[in-house]
Amino acid sequence: MECYREIRVVGRGSFGAVHLCERRSDGQQVVVKRVSISQMTDSELAASCTEVRVLSMVQHPLVVRYLDNAVQEDALHIVMEYLPGGTLRDFLRARDGRFLPQQDVVTWASQLVLALYHIHSLNVLHRDITSSNILLTANHSKSRAQTLVGTPCYLSPELCDGRDYGRESDIWATGVVIYEMLALRRPFEAPTLASLVMQILRARVPPVSATHYDSTVHDLITIMLHREPKSRPSARQLLAHPALIAAVHAAPVTCFHCSEASYV
């Protein structure tokens, strides 16, 4: 890790810290996730090693890029691409109630579904899709997925019921993110976990603006946030949805090798 010069800490979690660093050889800014392994159980250490193997094995232009890893000073260091545009969550909060143009929502939604499709094609589940885990490029023309600490607002009904996590839960969470881009709020929010779970299980999904968004976008949300997992479309099916198909074909991605990447 002597190859990198630390600039500042950009995040912390139960695992350790995330640092913005500069590569000494060429000045490129990167993010280094430092995971303490001294107190890890065997299963936790195995999970961290699996994460590194998955990250190093696959790459995709719409997923935060893995660069390197090293074990040093009782810590696993994972070096990742740095995206300076911040998170989608922060970007939406800064909108201050101003709706995004439909084309922007559709473009970003298509990018999320493209990344998810290729993750799923490798039999990998993301398991933690939130707007705080979507990083933006500097000009906000493109978003990339990563993994951060989750939030219960994105839990699927089947998880609230204690059932197994599958690809359908990733579809639900992606639907929540797309809804958030449309409504500038999440569909289900509550002051306590118990009341949030009840909303997710029983409450009607609040409609998004019919003035700003057409029926194809409304249908996209409806099918992604279907409470029955088997009734939700797969990522592959979503790529052909009328709301997304034009943006999917316009996306600057012609060869797909998808991965899940993480800062935290």
Show the tokens assigned to 259.
């991965």
Contact indicator for 106, 238 with CB cutoff of 8 Å: no
Kindly name the residue from 128, 161, 214, 219 that is annotated as catalytic: 128
CA distance linking residue 57 with residue 53, whole number of Å: 6
Residue type, 230: K
Whether 170 is catalytic is: no
Show the tokens assigned to 190.
């509550």
CA distance linking residue 228 with residue 230, whole number of Å: 6
Instruction: Map the chain to HEC letters.
Output: CCCEEEEEEEEEECCEEEEEEEECCCCCEEEEEEEECCCCCHHHHHHHHHHHHHHHHCCCCCECCEEEEEEECCEEEEEEECCCCCEHHHHHHCCCCCCCCHHHHHHHHHHHHHHHHHHHHCCCCCCCCCHHHEEECCCCCCEEECECCCCHHHCCHHHHCCCCCCHHHHHHHHHHHHHHHHHCCCCCCCCCHHHHHHHHHHCCCCCCCCCCCCHHHHHHHHHHCCCCHHHCCCHHHHCCCCCCHHHHHHCCCCCCCCCCCECC
The set of catalytic residues is 128
